[in-house]
Structure 1
């Protein structure tokens, strides 16, 4: 039996739902880790070309985003980090070099925290949020996040107060551009009832997002929208991005806020957001 929709009053008045616009992956951190980056460090077009255009669109629609960036990239792209901060966007944590988080041993996980916090300290960044590469975290991660002062985590899962006082702000695969745009996600698409090979991925992604926005207004839900700068490589994809930004910016019933703001609200109103993650 389906659960009744949550009360719309759980979000700040007068809003009925909440949306966070997020970005993942800053530059070539993962490619360097995997030995697949043949170019000079610090020249990734996702940062030098696509990101400035995305920031311009966010400014046009007055939307503040959360960028989950790898800590390795903070010193490689300091100007990009400063541009994000000057524009009022949140810089959050996405591992050191995009290591698949659930596969890390306890020792590797601790090393990742240590290297990432050292890099963040040098860049003058205090992390409040974490999105685990791969979408899942280990049970021990909750306590480590709490020890390091992280206030929220954004994995696959359900919205709630989370564990150890760390709020859960989930994403879902269909809300990620890579789910629709990348061939390597064909298996995940199949698992979700979609075609492995999509004929019109941009239109499919846009259609799903716009439909989901209508759904969360009815259910009082939350949506984390995820666009990767490295995938915004065509005018069709930028058109999808701009249409989605325009839609959420003009929805009077939707609170458009970065993850830090949403996590703060959830933390302050735990009775409205029952923790569901086991």
Structure 2
């Protein structure tokens, strides 16, 4: 969708891009009984995520982490660091339940359980925030940010919401949703900041996405990080040229090799050096969209 006016995005930016991360730790593995290790020791959090956050800090970019509510109390120090460095922590279900498969009672129950977990975790996150003294926190653009966590955005595990989800989001104060779908302002006044499969690292890297790759005209076999990089760079150029929005997703549990880390760094560097691109947490982009409905019908 081409820009309707030069002021579609905040000046001097021409396009908006959200850097996002999903899956905080082992919530999904615990749900399915696939985690035989001590709780709170997932390597994506102890190894990969600190490196990714240091990278974002060096390039002064802020991201959105869609985190399961179960994980907030397990990793309060991680949540506190994210907030201190200016990143957004948004909602990704309680334990990464496939959202479109939930029944009506299960869906409401997931909201209720998640918001209770959020309330319980707030004090632990606030206490952890007082001791976050990493170099990245000191140098980050968001250094000194409030470490009070609030869920204002939702990315449904599996990518799809149910019709009844709209009213539940409104009821619980969710301001935007990031599913598969169309960009703009959705039902109940909720902004829609969608993702597309090709902008997700898992689409290229994971065997279980073979069917989705086939649906999108790609070969079923796992692709290389270089192929993901090539698509992303072309997509960024396209989004800037057309004045659009895209959400890019890197999973910490998949950013496990030097080559994959290098791909993320190249993308982050590209975004940080182009003033035509507004890179901001999803919450800020959603707020802009809702305040300028004439451009985002």
Question: TM-score under structure 1 normalisation?
Answer: 0.95
Conservation of the 8 A alpha-carbon contact between 1:8 and 1:17? no
Paired with 2:219 and 2:90, the residues of 1 have a C-alpha distance of: 33
| Counterpart Cα distance in 2 of 1:52 and 1:249 | 19
Alignment equivalent of 1:56, drawn from 54, 57, 75: 54
Change in 2 beyond 3 A, CA 1:262/1:4: closer
Deviations 1:58-92 (A, max 9, x none): 00010111000000001111111111111111000
Shift of 1:6: 4.5
Whether the 8 Å CA contact 1:24–1:94 is kept in 2: the answer is yes
SS in 1 for 2:151: coil
Matches within 5 A, 1:84-95: 84-95=82-93
Secondary structure at the counterpart of residue 39 of structure 2: coil
The residue number in structure 2 matching 1:209 is 232
Alignment partner of 1:18 is 2:41: no
Pairing 1:1-278 to 2, within 5 Å after superposition: 6-124=4-122, 125-198=149-222, 200-274=223-297
CA offset at residue 14 of structure 1? 1.2
Whether the 8 Å CA contact 2:2–2:243 is kept in 1: the answer is no
Q: CA deviation at 1:8?
A: 4.5
Deviation at 1:123, TM superposition (A): 2.1
Relative distance call for 1:98 and 1:191 in structure 2 (3 A) is same
Q: How many residues matched?
A: 271
Q: Structure 1 residues 55 and 83, CA, compared in 2 at 3 Å: closer, same or farther?
A: same
> Structure 2 vs 1, CA of residues 261 and 195 (structure 1 numbering), >3 Å: closer, same or farther?
same
Contact 1:152/1:263 (<8 A) preserved: yes
Alpha carbons of structure 1 residues 8 and 222: separation in structure 2 relative to 1, 3 Å: farther
Distance 2:288 2:99 in 1: 27
Distance 2:283 2:2 in 1: 27
The one-character-per-residue Cα deviations of 1:203-253 (angstroms, maximum 9, x if unpaired) are 111111110010011111101010000001100000001000000111121
Rounded to whole Å, the distance in 1 between the matches of 2:236 and 2:6 is 14
Distance 1:4 1:63, change over 3 A: closer
Check the 8 A contact 1:8/1:15 in 2, yes or no: no
Report the 3-state secondary structure (helix = DSSP H, G, I; strand = E; otherwise coil) of the residue aligned with 1:21.
strand
Distance of 2:5 and 2:22 partners within structure 1: 31
Distance in 2 between the 1:154 and 1:8 partners? Answer: 25
List structure 1 segments (4+ residues) > 2 angstroms apart after TM superposition. 3-9
Deviation at 1:47, TM superposition (A): 0.5
RMSD: 1.1
What is the Cα deviation at residue 201 of structure 1? Answer: 1.7
- Displacement, 1:7? 3.9
